[in-house]
Every structure is written in C-alpha cells, then in structure tokens.
Amino acid sequence: MSLHTLDAIDAARAIREKVLSPVDLIEALLERIERIDGRIQAWALVDRDGARRAARQAADEAARGAFRGPLHGVPFGAKDIFYSAGLRTEAGSKAMAGFVPDYDATSVARLKAAGAILLGKLQTTEFATTDPAPTRNPWSLVCTPGGSSSGSAAAVAARMIPLAFGTQTIGSNVRPASYCGLVGLKATFGRISTRGVIPLSYTQDHVGLMARSVEDIALGLSIAAGHDPDDPSSSRAPVPDYLAALTRRRAPRVGLLREFFERAASDVADITAQAVNRLARAGADIEEAKMPPTFRAVAAAAYVITRSETASAHAERFALKADLYRPGIRSSIEMGMLIPGDLYVRALRIRRQFRREMSLLLERYDVLLTPTTPTPAPEGMATGDPSFQVPWSISGLPSITVPCGLTTSGLPLGIQLVSGAYAEAPLLSAAAWCEDILGRASAPSL
C-alpha cells in the first residue's frame, strides 16, 4: 500500500508499532502534493520545513517509546480560517493578506498536543462565504469540490492528507465532504471550540472534520471535542469515548425524511433510495418521518441570522478595507447591515422553536436520514446548494455524511444522518454501521 493512501488511524497504529516512520509518511504526502496539487489547488500554504521538523521530532520520540497521543506523527490540514501560530492565515481574502497569528486555534492545538503534525493550510472561499476558492474536485476537475471548506475536502479525497478541519455555518463541511466522496461531520454547536477560527456567524459557526472513514472521524472528534474556557460558546457537556461507541454499532432506528428526497434531483433520489433499501435489508428499522411546522421558516431565519452576524463580525475590518472584499462577502455584509434588530430577534425565536420541535422528533429515532445534497457536485466554480444542511446548522444538531454510491457520470453521493444534541456517539455508531453496509468510496483517478 502506498503511504499516502493510509487513513489516520492506520498510520497512527503503524507509527506506534514502529513499522512506519513519521518522516517517511510526511515525505510521501509532500511528494503527492507536489505531483497533483497543481491540478487540484487544494492548498493555500504547505509548511514543508515545519512539517519535516515535526516529523523528525515525532520519529525520535517514537523511537524512545514516547508517544504524545493517539495521532502521534500523523499529518492533518486545516482550512485557512483556523489560526496557526507562525503560519499565514488569510481566509482566502486580500483583506487578510500576510496575517500571521501568534497562537493556534484550540482545535488545531488539541490535535498537535495529541501528536498530530499540521502539514499546512487549505483553501477556503473568501471568509467562508460564497466567493469561490480556486480548488477543483478530484473526481472531476470541471466540478466544484463544494464550499466553503473546498481545500479540506479536495485534499483528503485526493489522498494528500488523511484528516482535515473544515467549518460549517450553513453547509460548508458536510456538503463538500459529500461532493468529494468523504465522511464529513458537523458536531453539535459548541462541541468543538471555535476559538481561533475567523468568525462568520457567532451563533452558527461549527468546526467540522473530514476523513475517509467514520473511524478516523471518531478519533479526530475524541481529540478536538471538549470545553474550552476561552470560548464562550463552548459546551461543558461530557465527551464520550467515540471510538468505543463504534464497537457497539447495531442496526439503527431511522426516520426517513421523504420531503428531502422529493426536492433532490432524480438520480440523487434514486441512488439514495437504493442505499436506504440496502440498509433496510440489512436490518435497519426505517420508517417515514416528517419535519415539524417551523421547518418552513428555517431557511429564511438562517439567512437573517447569518447576514446579521457576518456584518457584526466584519464591521471593523470592512470599515477599513471594504475595497479588498470580493462581491459575495461584500454583499453579505452590506445586506446584514440593513437587517433591523426586531427581524433578527424574530429569527432567533424561530430557531429556538425549531430546536424544540426537532428535539421531540428525534426522541423517536436514533438518526434521521436524507440525501446529503440535492445534486452531485455541479460544474463550474459555484460552491453548490447548501439547503439540505441548513436545518442542522441553524439548530446546531450534529450531522454526518457517509458515501452511498456514484452517479452514472462517476460523481460521489452521500447519505446524511442527523441525531440529537450531543448525541455524536450514537450518530457515529449509526454512521459506521451504514458504512459497513454501503462500503467506503473508492479513490478518484488522479
């Protein structure tokens, strides 16, 4: 097996067993990046020298039996809105050109503390909104990888890195993961600290994870999750053993949200329905579920909340550098400035009611299931339709995508699973069970 194809947990195991050197792993990934990223353009910055130094240190420690944590010597990437000490963090924007933070985002710091090596920064749409990154989809270079975590999805899918951080405010982690044939998790709001992540919407920004297996996602979440006293939105909810949860997987009780199938393109609906039938034949208890009444208003509420909070988050920088902002983010800020306070408060009330209604619905199921996206990855630079992620972003509920098949044109599709707040353990367990039945996505041809 080529080293660049190793998943994170397999690489970590091989390093711990001293059959793989972190130095060799880093060199294999750097060679892979050098060979293919000119076509994919997933990386905003590759820290070759820093990664090599860290790999040599990790190798020396491993030789002495001194392992810092469960990801010792394993490389990862971070979307270029995550602060990284000593490395440029530019958020895909001229307004941030040359900015170098002096500390790591909490999520980045936690992976480093567990022995992981930050290989570099991954392309993002400008400030994680709609102005596209240059990144292309490894499955088809004429298609988008999705946004805003474009580089994260493309780099993991193209086997340039086994694990990456993305973010999701509306649909920016789960959607690109699906477009690129990956497993992508958006945990409950507050489960992973957003300290050191350039904000877009204070009450809807989520740190997300992308990998090629549910097991890697569970490992990454077990390290990144947990209360952060420096993040006011960080939850104090206990963090379970997510890897242990995978050992208890069983056929889940599934609420099938048919209205999402009806809004999907015919090929997406058909392939996802075939996947659902396979899950049912394997023992999943599947029944029709229906979204609550407030669902009709959540897209509008999410729009109001996001635009209002984007305007607030960017007020000072925009006042000084408005001419450096691209059209999409500029429009979001300017529209947010025009939203009256009473409309913003009304949107918050809709969100609170929707959360209450969803909590009642989820009492009946282990997970809810939808197609992850209405269509496969579209051609061109547009970042795709986030509408199937909106309900879970505005509610803060955890969601995950698992590959479920390919279209006739060879583009990957996923099923999206949703669970109750802080129920990532049963969500990951259900996702792993589905992964066992449906199989993992193959690698794109590059």
Of 441, 305, 299, 295, give the one whose Cα is nearest residue 368: 295
Task: Tell me the DSSP string of 375-398.
Answer: SSPPBSS-----TTTHHHHHH---
Non-local (6+) Cβ contacts of 98 within 8 A are: 88, 90
Told to judge if 79 belongs to the known catalytic residues of this protein, a careful annotator would answer: yes
- Give the whole-angstrom CA distance, residue 88 versus residue 102: 10
State the pLDDT at residue 309: 98
Tokens of 286: 């599947």
- Work out the number of other CB atoms within 10 angstroms of the CB of residue 435: 20
Longest dimension (CA), the chain: 62
Told to judge if 409 belongs to the known catalytic residues of this protein, a careful annotator would answer: no
295, 297, 298, 301: CA torsion to nearest 10: -170
User: Which one-letter amino acid corresponds to residue 269?
Assistant: A
Non-local (6+) Cβ contacts of 428 within 8 A are: 185, 214, 217, 218, 221, 242, 245, 246, 400
Q: Supply φ then ψ for residue 350, to 5 degrees.
A: -60, -45
**103-157 pLDDT, tens per residue?**
999 999 999 999 999 999 999 999 999 999 999 999 999 999 999 999 999 999 9
The residue from 172, 234, 332, 429 that is catalytic is 172
User: Which one-letter amino acid corresponds to residue 252?
Assistant: P
State the pLDDT at residue 228: 98
Tokens of 243: 């890897």
Q: What are the residue ranges of CATH 3.90.1300.10 in the chain? A: 3-293+356-438
pLDDT cut 90: percent of the chain above it? 99
Cis preceding-peptide flag for 429 (omega within 30 of 0) = no
Pairing of strands 253-257, 285-289: parallel
* In the predicted structure, residue 434 carries a pLDDT above the cut 90: yes
- Give the whole-angstrom CA distance, residue 339 versus residue 377: 32
State the pLDDT at residue 405: 97
Q: Output the pTM of the full model.
A: 0.98
Give the total residue count for the chain. 446
Q: Is 65 left (phi over 0), alpha (psi -120 to 50) or beta?
A: left
**202-248 pLDDT, tens per residue?**
999 999 999 999 999 999 999 999 999 999 999 999 999 999 999 99
State the pLDDT at residue 183: 98
Of 10, 1, 29, give the one whose Cα is nearest residue 117: 29
The residue from 84, 93, 140, 148 that is catalytic is 148
Of 115, 110, 204, 121, give the one whose Cα is nearest residue 155: 121
Binned at pLDDT 50, 70 and 90, residue 413 comes out as very high
* Annotation: CATH topology of 3-293+356-438: Amidase signature (AS) enzymes (3.90.1300)
Radius of gyration, alpha carbons of the chain: 20
- Give the whole-angstrom CA distance, residue 255 versus residue 427: 13
* In the predicted structure, residue 426 carries a pLDDT above the cut 90: yes
State the pLDDT at residue 419: 98
Told to judge if 429 belongs to the known catalytic residues of this protein, a careful annotator would answer: no
Average pLDDT, the chain: 98
Non-local (6+) Cβ contacts of 311 within 8 A are: 318, 332, 333, 334, 335, 336, 337, 339
**299-356 pLDDT, tens per residue?**
999 999 999 999 999 999 999 999 999 999 999 999 999 999 999 999 999 999 999 9
State the pLDDT at residue 416: 99
**279-303 pLDDT, tens per residue?**
999 999 999 999 999 999 999 999 9
Measured in whole angstroms, how far is the alpha carbon of residue 253 from the centre of its chain? 25
Q: In what order do the strands lie in the sheet with 43-46?
A: 43-46, 117-122, 75-79, 163-168, 206-211, 183-186, 399-406, 412-418, 367-371, 253-257, 285-289
Non-local (6+) Cβ contacts of 196 within 8 A are: 82, 83, 101, 103, 104, 105, 106, 107, 108, 109
- Give the whole-angstrom CA distance, residue 101 versus residue 98: 10
